């Protein structure tokens, strides 16, 4: 790859999505400069993290033939996509050997809409075998590493997305979530991730390893460095073009007014769900965010789940992701915002961790989170079905208050 000598790649890579789109729209940056800056960073990062499965070579041609009128909310923005997203002439193996050499005959609906909005899907990202794992490796593409600590996992199943964005190789990516597969890697890698209400975004052209599973559907959703980027992506995708391509999706455009509202909120919170004891860093982060929200004038109400053990044991059959999978079961929108990092006091307190049931799962949890000093910690925000904009609004509130508290 040949970069323009005047291109300041370091500066381009620091721009937020909103800053980048503004410069691309006004013409002070051109798509080629941005494209090659991110392509170079991604190739370099992949050497260390193994977060990608392949470059989408058609992206080079798309970049050169973008609409000269700079149309689209994501004009000129390089976007990474999870390996199971259909992209014409490329495999969506889901990390399973039998699915190799079966390239997609056409783009998935969301890839087509991204292109319509001026975005450039440029790379596919790595996943765990069969997608159903919160660790991230497969026998085809290998192990994905955490960008903050190579001894730790990036999380799964959208682990390649989490690692790539968390490492600075992409500023917007598309993942999928059926039990926490967007929110877990987002939390592990220190970025933001959003699982919309099932059916809000099209799933046509997304591959999975199981057939006929209807009760808890997989959801496509964005992953990014900040909440505004998630909101902009949702706004771009929830357009007439998507509604016409997939008539099963309700024609509900993004409600900007709800997202930008400053109305005080009444928020339920829980430090522990009573089924999986959180690590000290997780519990502390919830307490800290609660205090920030209360200081900002919001009302915080203690909350507990009803019949959680029945839901997890009988309906989901998963002692390990109770904090995320419940909201797939209930079809609630949910997102993750990074708020803190594991500190030495958290690690010391973890030595006394017993868990709720003090069984093998609790022992494995303690072992998995040990040695995490310096790693990011996120909190999850949840709202009722179809209140996606309100969920993003709460996430934005948390993000801003945490940022102000550190200033």
Which domains, from first to last, does the chain contain?
A: 9-254 (3.90.1300.10), 263-406 (no CATH)
CA dist list (Å): 399 to 108, 134, 229: 31, 24, 12
| Phi/psi at 402 (5° precision) | -65, -40
User: Comparing C-alpha atoms, which of 314, 306, 312, 310 is closest to residue 324?
Assistant: 312
Q: Is 229 designated active site?
A: no
Determine which one of 37, 41, 82, 93 is catalytic: 82
What pLDDT does 1 receive? 54
What pLDDT does 316 receive? 81
Q: In a structure prediction context, what are the per-residue pLDDT tens digits for the chain, which is 407 residues long?
A: 555 556 799 999 999 999 999 999 999 999 999 999 999 999 999 999 999 999 999 999 999 999 888 999 999 999 999 999 999 999 999 999 999 999 999 999 999 999 999 999 999 999 999 998 989 999 999 999 999 999 999 999 999 999 999 999 999 999 999 999 999 999 999 999 999 999 999 999 999 988 787 888 999 999 999 999 999 999 999 999 999 999 999 999 999 999 999 999 999 999 999 999 999 999 999 999 999 999 999 999 999 999 999 998 888 866 768 999 999 999 999 999 999 999 999 999 999 999 999 999 999 999 999 999 999 999 999 999 999 999 999 999 999 999 999 98
Given the structure tokens 């069984």, which residue do they identify? 359
Q: Is 82 designated active site?
A: yes
What pLDDT does 67 receive? 83
- Virtual torsion, Cα 52, 174, 170, 26, nearest 10 deg: 140
**How many other β-carbons are positioned within 10 Å of the β-carbon of residue 4?**
12
User: Comparing C-alpha atoms, which of 49, 45, 38, 43 is closest to residue 141?
Assistant: 49
In the chain the first and final C-alpha atoms are separated, in Å, by 39
Do residues 224 and 20 touch, judged by C-beta distance below 8 A? no
CA 257-378-353 angle, to 5 degrees, is 145
Structure-block tokens of residue 44:
């370099």
| Cα atoms in the 13 Å half-sphere on the side-chain side of 231 | 21
Structure-block tokens of residue 185:
């890697």
User: Comparing C-alpha atoms, which of 85, 12, 31, 77 is closest to residue 53?
Assistant: 85
Q: Which residues pair with 380 in a beta bridge?
A: 336
Determine which one of 80, 157, 203, 340 is catalytic: 157
What pLDDT does 157 receive? 97
CA 257-31-104 angle, to 5 degrees, is 85
Structure-block tokens of residue 94:
């889901």
Q: Is 116 designated active site?
A: no
What pLDDT does 319 receive? 75
Determine which one of 154, 158, 176, 181 is catalytic: 181
User: Comparing C-alpha atoms, which of 111, 114, 137 is closest to residue 207?
Assistant: 111
Q: Kindly calculate the radius of gyration of the chain based on its CA atoms and give it in whole angstroms.
A: 20
CA dist list (Å): 27 to 19, 31, 33, 34: 12, 9, 11, 12
Given the structure tokens 């790595």, which residue do they identify? 126
């Amino acid at each position: 790859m040949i970069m323009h000598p005047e291109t300041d790649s370091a500066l381009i890579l620091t721009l937020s999505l909103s800053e980048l789109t503004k410069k691309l729209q006004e013409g002070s940056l051109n798509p080629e400069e941005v494209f090659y800056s991110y392509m170079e960073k991604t190739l370099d990062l992949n050497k260390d993290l193994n977060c990608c499965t392949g470059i989408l070579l058609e992206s080079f041609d798309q970049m050169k033939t973008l609409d000269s009128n700079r149309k689209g909310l994501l004009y000129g923005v390089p976007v990474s996509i999870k390996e199971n997203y259909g992209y014409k002439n490329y495999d969506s193996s889901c990390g399973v050997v039998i699915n190799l050499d079966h390239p997609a005959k056409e783009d998935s609906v969301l890839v087509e809409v991204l292109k319509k909005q001026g975005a450039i899907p440029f790379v596919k990202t790595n996943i765990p075998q069969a997608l159903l794992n919160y660790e991230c490796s497969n026998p085809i593409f290998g192990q994905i590493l955490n960008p903050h600590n190579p001894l730790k996992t990036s999380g799964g199943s959208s682990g390649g997305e989490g690692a790539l964005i968390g490492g600075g190789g992409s500023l917007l990516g598309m993942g999928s979530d059926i039990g926490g597969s967007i929110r877990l890697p987002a939390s592990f890698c220190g970025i933001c991730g959003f699982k919309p209400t099932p059916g809000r975004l099209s799933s046509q052209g997304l591959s999975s390893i199981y057939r006929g599973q209807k009760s808890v559907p997989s959801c496509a959703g964005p992953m990014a460095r900040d909440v505004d980027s998630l909101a902009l992506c949702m706004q771009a995708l929830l357009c007439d073009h998507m509604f016409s391509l997939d008539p099963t999706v309700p024609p509900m455009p993004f409600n900007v007014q709800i997202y930008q509202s400053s109305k005080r909120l009444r928020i339920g919170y829980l430090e522990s769900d009573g089924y999986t004891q959180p690590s000290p860093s997780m519990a502390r982060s919830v307490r800290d965010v609660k205090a920030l929200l209360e200081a900002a004038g919001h009302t915080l109400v203690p909350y507990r789940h009803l019949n959680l053990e029945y839901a997890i044991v009988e309906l989901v059959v998963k002692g390990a992701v109770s904090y995320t999978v419940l909201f797939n079961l209930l079809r609630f929108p949910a997102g993750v915002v990074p708020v803190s990092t594991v500190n030495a006091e958290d690690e010391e307190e973890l030595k006394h961790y017993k868990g709720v049931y003090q069984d093998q799962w609790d022992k494995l949890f303690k072992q998995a989170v040990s040695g995490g000093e310096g790693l990011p910690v996120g909190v999850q925000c949840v709202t009722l079905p179809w209140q996606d904009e309100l969920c993003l609004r709460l996430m934005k509130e948390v993000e801003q208050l945490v940022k102000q508290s550190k200033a």
